[in-house]
Amino acid sequence: MVFGLIAHFIEVITNEIVEDVQIVKEVLAYHISEFSEYRYQQKEMRKIKQKMNYCDSYEEWVSYSIQHDSLKDITLWKKDPTSPNYNFEYIQHLRDQLKSDRLNKNVLKIIHTLRSHAFRNIGNILDPLLYKECFNGTKDLIEDFQNEIDLCIQYIASTSQLSVRKKMEFFIEMRHAVGRTALVLSGGGLMGMYHVGVVKTLYEQKLLPRIISGSSAGSIIAAFICTRKYEELPSLFLTDGINWQAFQKRDPKGQMIRKLKRFFKEGVLLDVKVLYEFTRQNIGDITFQEAYDRTGFILNITVTGQGTHDNDRVLNYLSAPNVIIWSAVCCSCGIPYIYGPSDLLCKNEKDEIVLYLDKKKKFVDGSIGADLPMHRLSEFFNVNSFIVSQTNPWVVPFMDRGEKHPIVYLPFVKLFNIIRKLLNSELKHRVQQLSDFDLLPGALSKWVNIVLQTYVGHITIAPVPRWSDYANVLEVPKSSDDFEHFMLGGARKTFSKIPYIKAYMRYENSLTRGYNKIKQQLAEDSGPIIPVQDPDESYDNESIFMDAFEEEEDIRDKRISLGKSKSIYEDSKRVRNFSFIIPRTKSKEVLEKLNKIGVKPALVRKNSSSSKE
């Protein structure tokens, strides 16, 4: 009996062990299968990312990014509105509120809600972390919210519940409150050619801002863009879109000897006359004002005063309307001891090319004073959003590109970023101290800016240069293959930024579309017109809307269509005198001034509470 019990006990234990082993096998098999699937998934995702890095078009990049996101199974993350990176409860409430008001046609409540949220980053929906989880888009709630804002804005533009006057007030003031976007192109020598690919991608996706700034090499590309009409830009992206003949005239043999002789004789390494010829061949003798009148692009070029106490400048059609663009580009590219300082030239009242300032006032490389003149652009044009294309050779290697890394490398990447930030902040702090206590020689006072200034914007695009780009930083592209390399290199780094740029500019672009609809309504409106010559008409508490004078671009178009341009000085005076918004006024002086220069407002409405479309 005892032996029977022992045998039974052993049998039970054996069965239990067999069952446990079977369970362990099944669990191990499951985890091995999961791990194998995970490894296969990661391998496929790496293959797709490699393909994405070598795409030739944004459409191709999007197709691969969709495959990547589907392998990562990002759908659940998108559908889940919760995240610590933004106020999802508030965004959900706002979306539902706007949708309800739109469906109920309560336009006044929509206007109130939008006016009380006249900024881009509502509830922190533009946090970059929300756009790094996947390549295409972000949380569905954020996309729905931005879509609802767009629908509400277009509803305001098309509704019959408001007069055209009230609509125009809303759009002018909201556009001013939300602000504008600018594209800023840094310096970088040969590496500045990467800017062409950035511009090409933004142009193809209809995201190219009208306000463009350039410093040093960036000023060359900015000038090439802003002296062409929008529909002419594709010619710039062709391999023969830029004329390089000025650099190809010299015999490459004995080049180094010529450079050394020039350096010891003139104090510069390169012949600035070649740069003059190159920029003049590609741009022509066009001024900032003429370029703006012709294209509508607002070109800004930074130059640094040569003297210790000379002011650094941002040149544009407001600050230097009659300055010739190619001379500004040469000044902005005047790296000390490479090209050296240059003079600014302008057109006088006789259309002759003369010196803009005294002969002693020369300018050097714009990147020294302000590689990215964001503060001045904000003052000039109400810009509060900056897309930066950064190619400076001393900046690009140390930039945090915000790219994802394999989990294995994350600790090392974090450590490297911490060390980089510590060294960067320590260097800036020490240099600032030396500057504050006047311990730096006067000759270095300008160069301090290179260390202290900011080199990134709200959205920063930086290429991955080849080693040869650094070695040939003072050269020009030697073949069509070189040009193609730079254009594709800039474009490929821009592809991944497009979804975020679209989100960042969505509010601004929605308001612009609505504003254009109202301008069209003003042009087609057959309502009562008040003669401008009537001096006794009461404009008390009246909103005066002039289709030709709402913003700078409207003034330009109206003046050109009237054919009243007599000289560049009169033209620029007209723009500067009336380059402002007139949403409300009690004064008749504005109308009288318009009459004196021979331009009539397109529409002036009487103040009437019953005034409708």
Per-residue pLDDT reduced to its tens digit, 14-63: 878 878 788 888 888 877 777 777 787 888 888 898 899 899 999 999 99
Q: Residue 216 catalytic? A: yes
Q: 317 pLDDT exceeds 50?
A: yes
Q: What is the mean pLDDT of the chain?
A: 82
CA distances from 568 to 286, 573, 595, 597 (A): 11, 8, 20, 15
* Catalytic pick among 215, 216, 367, 389: 216
DSSP state of 547: T
What's residue 388's pLDDT?
A: 96
Using CA atoms of 159, 163, 166, 168 in order, give the dihedral in degrees to the nearest 10. Answer: 80
Residue 604 has a pLDDT of 40
What six digits make up the tokens of 554?
């409207």
Please say whether the beta carbons of 209 and 183 come within 8 A.
yes
Angle at 162 between CA 157 and CA 168, to 5 degrees: 55
Token reading at 9: 């006990």
Query: What pLDDT is stored for residue 407 in this prediction?
Result: 52
Beta strands in 193-286 (DSSP E): 211-215
pLDDT digits (tens, 9 = 90+) for 555-564: 455 555 555 4
Angle, alpha carbons 440-445-450 (nearest 5°): 110
Q: What is the pLDDT of residue 340?
A: 87
Q: Rounded CA gap, 92 and 378, in Å? A: 32
Indicate the DSSP class of residue 544.
P
Inter-axis angle of helices 480-495 and 58-72, nearest 10: 40
- Among candidates 334, 65, 389, which has minimal Cα distance to 196? 389
DSSP state letter for 384: E
CA pair distance 352, 354, nearest whole angstrom: 6
3-state secondary structure of 490: helix
Check residue 421 and give its pLDDT: 80
Q: Three-state secondary structure along 558-594? A: HHHHHCCCCCHHHHHHHHHHCCCCCCCECCCHHHHHH
What percent of the chain clears pLDDT 90, i.e. is strictly above it? Answer: 49
Beta pairing, strands 211-215 & 353-355:
unpaired
Residue in 423, 417, 419, 418 with CA at minimum distance from that of residue 400: 417
Nearest to 570 by CA among 541, 542, 596, 532: 596
**What gap in Å lies between CA 154 and CA 514, rounded to an integer?**
6
148-152, 245-249, 272-276, 488-492 — which is least confidently predicted? 245-249
Give 356's pLDDT tier (boundaries 50, 70, 90): very high
| pLDDT: which is higher, 94 or 539 | 94
For the chain, the domains span 1-54, 184-398+457-483, 400-454
Predicted confidence band at 410 (pLDDT cuts at 50, 70, 90)? Answer: low
Catalytic pick from 101, 365, 371, 482? Answer: 365
**Integer angstrom CA distances of residue 43 from 63, 494, 528:** 18, 25, 69
Beta bridge partners of 354: 346
Which H or E element spans position 498? Answer: helix 498-524
Q: For the segment 478-535, what is each residue's pLDDT rounded down to a tens digit?
A: 888 899 999 999 999 999 999 999 999 999 999 999 999 988 877 776 444 333 333 3
Task: Compute the distance between CA of residue 263 and CA of residue 13 in angstroms, rounded to an integer.
Answer: 93
- Supply the DSSP string of 394-424, one letter for each residue: TTGGG--------GGGHHHHHHHHHHHHHHH
pLDDT for the residue 38: 75
Euclidean distance between CA atoms 200 and 197, whole angstroms: 5
Coil vs helix vs strand at 52: helix
Quote the pLDDT of residue 451: 83
Q: At what angle do helices 325-332 and 272-283 cross, to 10 degrees?
A: 140
Question: What confidence score (pLDDT) does residue 409 get?
Answer: 53
Compute the half-sphere exposure of residue 74: CA atoms within 13 Å on the CB side of its CA.
Answer: 21
- Binned at pLDDT 50, 70 and 90, residue 436 comes out as confident
**201-240 pLDDT per residue, tens:** 999 999 999 999 999 999 999 999 999 999 999 999 998 8
- Report the alpha-carbon distance of residue 182 to residue 213 in Å, rounded: 7
Greater model confidence, 540 or 499: 499
Q: Which residue has the higher pLDDT, 594 or 229?
A: 229
Burial-class residue 301 by CB neighbours within 10 Å (0-12, 13-18, 19+).
buried
> Residue 324 carries which DSSP code?
B
C-beta of residue 469 within 8 angstroms of C-beta of residue 190: yes
- C-alpha 15/C-alpha 17 separation (Å) is 5
Helix (H, G, I), strand (E, B) or coil at 345: strand
**545 band by pLDDT with thresholds 50, 70 and 90:** very low
Q: What's the rounded mean pLDDT across residues 262-270? A: 87
Q: How far is Cα 316 from Cα 332, in angstroms, rounded to an integer?
A: 13
**pLDDT tens, residue by residue, 322-332:** 999 999 999 99
Nearest to 339 by CA among 278, 400, 292, 430: 278
> Which residues make Cβ contacts (< 8 Å) with residue 26, sequence separation at least 6?
none
Residue 276 has pLDDT above 80, yes or no: yes
